[in-house]
Amino acid sequence: MIGLLVLGLWTAAADDGADRDGNVDQEVRLSIRKDAIEIDYVVQLGRQAAFAEVLQIDVDRDGRLSREEQASYFARLEETIRTGLELRVEGRDVALRRVGEVRLEMPFRKIYRFEAARPDGRRLEFHNENFASSPGATSMIVQPESGLDVVVDGSPGSLRRDLVCEMRAGEGRILQESSPRLRASGGSGSGILFRILFLVGLPAAGGLAWRRRRAASLAAIVAAGLCGVAALRTGTPPEAEATSIFLALHGEAVRASDASLRRIKPIETRILPSPFAWLPEFQVRHRWTAYRTLQHSDHVHPEVEEHEACFVVSWKDGDWRLSSPDERPEGVPRRLVMVPGGD
């Protein structure tokens, strides 16, 4: 049986050309509704990839692809593919569930359908990490329902493995972001004034205490403390706003320094105030995962690395600026793992 199947594979792939024998072509179609998100995942194997799949199905190597072997293989493949499809809304992972059975189309074309309830939130991310080390075309088609527009960061026609978008009320169109998202403005001069009052209030309280004017000294200490708290608040944006500012700056900086970077996934972002800064400023301890795609001659090599570093975001010349990160803290691991995929 496998011999006949292999002969069929060679015949069916003859029209495609030998250069596509090892390809794994993928297409993802996202239907975005107000209450749910449907995902059709299509994978088409080339001749060599299909032959390798046949050998994986035939576990007992008896030359027959039994129903049990096929069912077991397709169940494992479904779980692997579902793991490689990452859906997030407002930075939170959304679980996918399979809908119906896998559709098989010859030669070796499979269609899986998944679905997820759509939680509240405007910002949506979708990433396809399947078959990351295999050559082949990848594409993504986004279809919003009527009453919902999808605004993407890049050109809608150039979507491949990654989608980052915002969902808004509309007519069911795909729109491209016309201008970068505005960043929050820095704090006003009140932050500097509060710092001056804090620095002046402490020695004034000490002078009053030396003169044994305890009530006035205590009042000065309380006033200085309140000024110090106000200085911290005016110098550090609200946590959500500070996180948004940092992630935008960090993404720009990392992408500019690494041409092989495909996407960045934040893991943990901690915002800390800078108590001794005169201008608006805050510190960040950040953990993130970097997904890279490296090309070695005719081989695509995916890498996933986890990083952790400290940053300083400060307000200079009318804009937020990101300083260079510190060295990786001692004892903080940097892990290298392979991207999950069906290969």
State pLDDT tens for residues 202-222.
676 666 666 666 676 677 666
Give the per-residue pLDDT at 197. Answer: 56
Give the per-residue pLDDT at 2. Answer: 44
Given pLDDT bands bounded at 50, 70 and 90, which one contains residue 25? very high
More confident residue, 292 or 232: 292
Q: How far is residue 26's CA from residue 44's CA, in Å, rounded to a whole number?
A: 6
Residues of the chain with pLDDT > 90: what percent?
A: 19
* Tokens encoding 203: 């020695």
Does residue 337 carry a pLDDT above 50? no
Q: What is the mean pLDDT of residues 3-18?
A: 44
* Number of Cα atoms under 13 Å in the Cβ half of residue 60: 10
* Tokens encoding 157: 């026609």
- The least confident of 171-175, 251-255, 330-334 is 330-334
Q: How far is residue 193's CA from residue 170's CA, in Å, rounded to a whole number?
A: 45
CA-nearest of 304, 301, 300 to 290 is 304
Q: How far is residue 131's CA from residue 85's CA, in Å, rounded to a whole number?
A: 11
The residue length of the chain stands at 343
Residues of the chain with pLDDT > 70: what percent?
A: 68
Residues 178-189 as b or e (16 or more Cβ within 10 Å = b): eeeeeeeebbee
Which letter does DSSP use for residue 20 in this model?
G
Give the per-residue pLDDT at 115. Answer: 95
Query: In 3-state terms, what secondary structure has residue 257?
Result: helix
Give the per-residue pLDDT at 298. Answer: 64
Q: What is the pTM of this model?
A: 0.66
Does residue 248 carry a pLDDT above 90? no
Give the β-pairing of 174-176 and 148-152.
Answer: parallel
Q: What is the mean pLDDT of residues 84-88?
A: 93
Q: What is the mean pLDDT of residues 24-48?
A: 91
Mean pLDDT of the chain: 76
More confident residue, 189 or 67: 67
